[in-house]
Chains A and B, each alone.
Chain A
């Protein structure tokens, strides 16, 4: 009965590879987010989708492409992985576009070698 789930939990890959991270929420929320947490624990929003439409794109390299097949899912595809992409990626969801609580997934730890 996990509210926000992510797969995989860990991802180790070589530079130049392409990888995807999946996120699913069963809270019935209509807004989903991707955050990146770097090695210093700094958290920054990357993307946000509301009802499957992109509403926030925070100057993220176009190697990162989010996709929302439906309101309950938000996936993140990363092309040509670079060393600097190593981080923890968190998915989150909330209801509506106002100042509502965001619920976070457990994170995907990506290590690019």
Chain B
């Protein structure tokens, strides 16, 4: 079965520092992978997604992620953190049934990004 593991429930960085949020997946076939962000008291918003077109995926707000098959990873990065980046970040993998074709997102446990001045 496919799943995702997010290492680190909390990540703290200083404003202007590099942001690195880790996500590893387990899958026997190339997966579809997503990063979503949840700001306090809000719903989830898509940051970026990997659909096998390119291994380096650029998203909104300066975030990007690189799909590395050899490491089964899809880590999220941003060169310079802003205070407004403080939020909960979720990695997710899409499961697709060969019978029905339905899509089901399986989420990681989330990583809270804290940004200090």
Contact = CB atoms under 8 A, between A and B. Distances in A.
Contact of B45 (A41, A99, A104): A104
A15 B25 CA distance: 38
Interface residues of B, number: 26
B44 A98 contact: no
Given A41-B109, A104-B43, A56 B96 contact: no
Interface residues of A, number: 26
Contacts, number: 62
B49 A101 contact: yes
Contacts of A83: none
B43 A4 contact: yes
Given A48-B104, A98-B101, A102-B44, 6 more contacts: A41-B88, A42-B109, A45-B105, A99-B32, A99-B96, A102-B46
Interface of B: 32, 34, 36, 38, 41-46, 49, 51, 88, 90, 94, 96, 100-107, 109-110
Interface of A: 4, 31, 40-45, 48, 50, 55-56, 90, 92, 94, 97-107
Q: Report, nearest first, the 10 A-B pairs whose CB atoms are least far apart.
A: A104-B43, A99-B32, A104-B44, A43-B107, A99-B94, A97-B101, A55-B102, A41-B110, A106-B43, A101-B46
